[in-house]
Amino acid sequence: MNLIIDAGNTRVKTAVFQDDIIREKYNFKKEDFSENFKKIRENFPEITKSVISSVTSNDSVIISEVRKCYPLLEIDHSIKLPFINEYSTPQSLGKDRVALMAAAVKAYSGKNVLVIDAGTCITYDLKTREEVYLGGAISPGMEMRFKSLHKFTAKLPLVKPKPEVALIGDSTENSILSGIINGIIMELKGVIEAYQAEFEDLTVIFTGGDSQFLSIPSKNSIFANSNFLLEGLNFILEFNRTQ
């Protein structure tokens, strides 16, 4: 069994994989890691190896704690990847983007794939049918846009997103909702269409915490998968074990 750890800024997502199947998932605050890590070890004594993706540089305590119990693979630019990486600055490529590309290779081998991750930032990443990662784009995420309107203006309120938003806002709050959510949807549609024009038979994968607010109709199927990043990390771990 594999222990997969995705350490964000404030929370840790973990999953226990048996082969390619998720046996259990956990999501908890960073300060609660030791307590939850103990429970995971007790519940799954069959775990033999682990992988961690950390977006911050202050996760040394977590890394040290896991390494005491299992062999640990840390995601960085030096590890072996199941795709050809043509990003010109691989050392600055986000670990989440690496994991999502690995998941795309695993699930959609031999296809042109665009992965859109709607989280803190909105990231766009493309791999070709030859399993070559070309790069993509980074755009401000939904929460970032709401906060920036509130922070950089004198009177605009801080608004929370809603799943259904009218095109025409009939109040300041609804105008902000329309501007941000409909603006992101239009951005996504435009980006997808641009990629579809350049890469035939494009498969679009849509994931991330804010994907629930963003319904993007497309001629091509869009598969939303909340476990996509975790699956990518598990694939990278297995890929490095067999190399």
210 is an active site residue: no
Strands in 103-234 per DSSP E: 113-118, 121-127, 132-140, 203-207, 222-224
User: What are the CA-CA distances from residue 10 to residues 7, 28, 180, 205, 213 (Å)?
Assistant: 8, 9, 25, 26, 22
3-state secondary structure of 148: helix
Contact 79, 240 (CB under 8 A): yes
Residue type present at position 63:
I
CA distance 184 to 165: 12
CA distance 228 to 213: 18
Contact 18, 33 (CB under 8 A): no
Contact 142, 96 (CB under 8 A): no
Here the tokens at position 120 are: 């803190």
Contact 206, 228 (CB under 8 A): no
DSSP 40-82: HHHH-TT--EEEEEESSS--HHHHHHHHTTS-EEEPSTTS--S
Catalytic residue among 6, 59, 76, 96: 96
Which active-site residues does the annotation give? 96
